[in-house]
Structure 1
Amino acid sequence: MSEKKRFHPIALVTYLVNALKSLAYLIIIAFINVSSDPFFAVVTVFAIILISLIWALIRYFTRTYSINNYKIIMYSGIFVKKETEIPYERIQTIKQRQWFFYKPFNIVQILIETGSTSDKEAEASLLAVDASLIDLIEDYRHKRKKNEKSDVESTNDLSDNYIEESNPDDQEALEDEEIIYNYKLSYKEILLYAITDLNIFVTTVPILLIIISFFLENTFLLDK
């Protein structure tokens, strides 16, 4: 199982709910002003729902995953493609979460935690996949652990039969040959990332629409 796969279509609902939660403050503002300007409030709410739906569709079609014998790979991004590789050896904990609307489809969210992640956030999340995928991942993990243990035992057997002393001069030579790579992001790459980052998109676009609408409304009143 190494081909790229999309999440279950029910993931669209999750993406939509998350987007609406991010923009809930704008919906509240619209309802507060509904008495003074009903048309503007309705248009604002409609625009927020439309933007959230577009955002959910983009997220769904730009996020895939693949699973093979060695690792889990997460793919994301529109113009700037991102790959997150998680070897089974690094996985410490696998958790599952099942929203109430996942149950009829036997779908779960799989949260993967490694040693490099914080307690509050998982390194990877398979948002909406078949529940049987947990057993598959666990099976791959156990096989990798078994193979790793066999490799360690074989290495120990070899080291018992052959011991090589390290030469300090060779060690210094290796340290002298060490290369340090520094990579700087250009302003163009930073701008491209900011434009294509979906979280920034879903937050800033509605705010810009409200500012533009407010400006046009005041301009219209001044013309009167």
Structure 2
Amino acid sequence: MNEKQMVGEKAVEYIKDGMVVGLGTGSTAYYTITKLGELVRNGFNIKGIPTSEQTAALAVEQGITLVDFKDVNQIDVAIDGADEFDADLNLIKGGGGALLREKIIANAASIFIVIADSSKGAKKLGAFPLPVEIVTFGADMTTKKIAELGCEPKLRLTGNQPFITDNGNYILDCDFKHIESPKEMELQLNKIPGVVENGLFVNMADRLITIENGELVEKTK
């Protein structure tokens, strides 16, 4: 069993029968969703709210019932991966292109559990280029304004064409090298007109499940 599978399946222990669950996007969340599908096929009853169209398709394939925000009062638990985390459980997310929906769902959840393999830990965030979702209108100007914060933004591509999010926007992958104050950077980015959301998840994770020295470990704020 690889590290992603270890942490992804461990998180399922926090899901109880009857819960509404935020379903993350990416290669680690894949193992959470497939494990949940196994439980559902054995009689487990949950409802899922997916963070992406990709996740929605996987959940349906696994037999998990999906619901919309309008159909529920709360999300009990959200489980999602991270591209980078620091000792304070601040995160960079968005490598899979779903950061906006991921942040909405994480913010709405009573408990937000992050699953990440040992390679994702960092003393300071920023080695992983920070994804920033921007509207297509005025994208060049928005990119210039973001660059003024001290990074090199690159438009994410699929082949030769811009990558388009599930929300119809672009993503800029912004190389900051390291981010001294994630909270301040989050606020500065979101003040720029044209920025929809950024991949800094500050003070949002309630629990981190990761691997240290080959063993599962859990960390809380």
Higher relative contact order (CA 8 A, sep 6+): 2
- TM-score (ref. length: structure 1): 0.25
- TM-score (ref. length: structure 2): 0.26
Higher normalized strand content (fraction of residues): 2
Greater Cα radius of gyration, structure 1 or 2: 1
Higher normalized helix content (fraction of residues): 1
